[in-house]
A and B are shown apart, each in its own frame.
Chain A
């Protein structure tokens, strides 16, 4: 049986192996993924983002528990940064979710960003597809990031949770954060710390100032103490409320369209890049040299390469 067929039956080792094959771009992985993709689109994809140290993983641990009590199957994709110096990574998000480490309906997979910008890893979307095809009802994607400029999560998820904590910085800091415009659910964790109320007020003002919610969504701000599992049910309720809104307003369909468009562009880019990586180095060097010598121009050189791809060269 092919890996993808096993995945559709919910086979965890097969899914884990397939994710690894996709991550490492092994031959055959792309074809398996094609099969998997046809069976996706059911799960609620929830992105969790925020600066390091805000308690995303701990909060996620609580949310997993809440969804499990509702008998929902849960997937978690936890992304941590790859060191630009060593190429290695310390994947430490799982530590905080190990209470569900033996729950057969919880699948947690840690991914290293491997240099991918935007807060995610190249294999994130594919990993979400695999978990979706396995039958997960909700898939959490925990992203790396300070929240500024790392907004890929908004393109990958149906609902984005932004986790903040008091003392992180002032109003000006928040104004710079693009993620503020992309998040749907706002959580102030470690709410027992001083400054929580002021942060809530600042956030309310910021959100009030935004013209973003043309969709009609009114975000709420939840105060939590994830280490004590306080306020976490309210967060789960916000997730449910947003999901309902997405469906009833038609926003879900819109976001899915946008996501499909982005996936298409990413796939095209990836295909082109693969072709260039596989090009005969001498042939590529000649093109580069012609360019440097002004014997050709960038556009013509690019069109030459694209023509080669089209003719199967």
Chain B
């Protein structure tokens, strides 16, 4: 009986915004849900995020942005992941994001966006349903 595979997740904050409470809450919620969470922290460039994603072989990347630069930064992460052969990694986002931007984000490859106030159980449920270990 081989063990059930654990989901590996990376949580990062691209760009200059310095409020990481939300990101930390999600990271802890994912840990409590049984996932292995690589917490990358603040002020990460898309390149740093993509590099870590590849080295850590994660299945899911969660990006948090409160500064309004999400359209550029989130899109850039997906773009670079695809360029480097890691396009099968699921990327989701959260933070201060206007509802109108959600379709735009999905168009550039963000699988789902979770706005502030979304119940953690909802995010966990979505993740368990939509993200499987890559191989």
A24 to B2, CA, bound (A): 8
- On whether the beta carbons of A86 and B33 are closer than 8 Å, the reply is yes
- On whether the beta carbons of B6 and A112 are closer than 8 Å, the reply is yes
Q: Across the interface, name the chain B residue whose C-beta is closest to A98.
A: B48
> Which A residues from 83 to 140 make CB contacts under 8 A with B?
83, 86-92, 94-95, 98, 101-102, 107-110, 112, 114
Q: Is A278 an interface residue (CB 8 A)?
A: yes
- On whether the beta carbons of A101 and B52 are closer than 8 Å, the reply is yes
The contact of B34 among A16, A88, A108, by CB within 8 Å, is: A88
A25-B3 CB under 8 A given contacts A13-B86, A110-B38: yes
- On whether the beta carbons of A17 and B57 are closer than 8 Å, the reply is yes
Q: Is B47 an interface residue (CB 8 A)?
A: yes
Query: Which residues of chain B have C-beta atoms less than 8 A from A110's C-beta?
Result: 36, 38, 56
A235 to B107, CA, bound (A): 50
- On whether the beta carbons of B32 and A86 are closer than 8 Å, the reply is yes
Query: Which residues of chain A have C-beta atoms less than 8 A from B32's C-beta?
Result: 83, 86, 88
Residues of A within 8 A of B (CB): 12-13, 16-17, 19-21, 24-26, 82-83, 86-92, 94-95, 98, 101-102, 107-110, 112, 114, 277-278
Rank and list the top 4 A-B pairs by shortest CB-CB distance, nearest first. Answer: A88-B31, A101-B48, A16-B57, A20-B57
- 12 pairs, CB–CB < 8 Å, chain A vs chain B: A19-B57, A20-B8, A20-B57, A24-B2, A83-B32, A91-B56, A94-B40, A98-B48, A101-B47, A102-B47, A108-B55, A109-B55
**4 extra A-B contacts, CB within 8 A, seeds A89-B37, A107-B55, A109-B56:** A16-B54, A90-B39, A98-B41, A110-B36
| Shortest Cβ distance from residue A151 to the other chain B in the assembled complex, whole angstroms | 24
- On whether the beta carbons of B31 and A24 are closer than 8 Å, the reply is no
Chain A binding surface, main DSSP class? mixed
- On whether the beta carbons of B6 and A91 are closer than 8 Å, the reply is no
- On whether the beta carbons of A102 and B56 are closer than 8 Å, the reply is no
- On whether the beta carbons of B37 and A90 are closer than 8 Å, the reply is yes
- On whether the beta carbons of A102 and B30 are closer than 8 Å, the reply is no
The contact of A89 among B36, B85, B86, B133, by CB within 8 Å, is: B36
Q: Is B129 an interface residue (CB 8 A)?
A: no
Query: Which residues of chain A have C-beta atoms less than 8 A from B37's C-beta?
Result: 88-91
- On whether the beta carbons of A86 and B135 are closer than 8 Å, the reply is no
| Shortest Cβ distance from residue A148 to the other chain B in the assembled complex, whole angstroms | 25
> Which B residues from 72 to 129 make CB contacts under 8 A with A?
84-86
Of B30, B39, B51, B55, which is in contact with the most chain A CB atoms at under 10 Å from its CB? B55
Q: Across the interface, name the chain A residue whose C-beta is closest to B39.
A: A92
> Which B residues from 35 to 64 make CB contacts under 8 A with A?
35-41, 44-45, 47-48, 51-52, 54-57
